[in-house]
Amino acid sequence: MTSTVNRLEPRWPASIALLSVGGLRLILPRAFSFGPNWVLLVVVGLLVVPIVWAHYGGLDVLNRILGHLVTSIVTADMIWSLSLLITTIPDRKIAPQEMLRSAAALWIANILVFASWYWRLDAGGPREREMRGVHTDGAFLFPQMTLDRDAKRDMGEDQWSPGFIDYLFLAFNVSTAFSPSDSPILSRWAKTLVMIQALISFTTVALLAARAINIL
């Protein structure tokens, strides 16, 4: 019974996050994309459908493959857009308002994209975490994991497992404070991703600040 309930647990927060990244693409100027701005949103939308179908159909391997595929596509698009934004700054061909709007959209996209990666990769992914029931080991040391058994039971956290919002909060902290805040990083792959996310965030914030004071 527990396995069935876990299998039917919704994945909509992660799907909404990736769809939101596709929506943010609509804010960017046409010069920052391969094709029309709506293409990414359509691609993500088309892939989300079989991802949800595979999840509810119990096709865990297919679900994982498609999930990694759509997240990789969104990540590549975000990095490509950021690189185009950086290269267009010296030419001054983009209006200041568009420049600031684009940098802000990419900053938000950075949070959503890496929250999706942390959620998909930590401790084998969401399905593996659900199967274990209680989250005691992973790439990130969440505060709930440091509580002793009695404290967890008293707080009602004895069956605690991280959800998408926990990884979103983690990604938000990395992009704002350039650190994981209350969740130390334990694994090397997670440290690598956090460094990449912090670098992207720092670059984007630097562009925003530089453009705001008109020094570029």
Tell me the per-residue pLDDT of 3-43, one tens digit each, with 9 for 90 and over: 433 444 556 788 899 999 999 988 888 777 767 888 899 99
Mean pLDDT, the chain, integer: 83
What is the number of residues in the chain?
Answer: 216
pLDDT given for residue 6 in this prediction: 41
Which ranges of the chain have pLDDT less than 70? 1-11, 34, 90-93, 152, 156-157, 209-216
Judge whether 66 and 51 are in contact, CB under 8 Å: yes
CA dihedral of residues 82, 67, 119, 80 (deg, nearest 10): -10
pTM of the shown model: 0.86
pLDDT given for residue 70 in this prediction: 94
Judge whether 11 and 48 are in contact, CB under 8 Å: no
pLDDT given for residue 143 in this prediction: 83
Q: What are the DSSP calls for 147-186, one per residue?
A: S-HHHHHHTT-TT----HHHHHHHHHHHHHHSS-TTS-B-
Domain chopping of the chain, boundaries: 2-212
Judge whether 102 and 32 are in contact, CB under 8 Å: yes
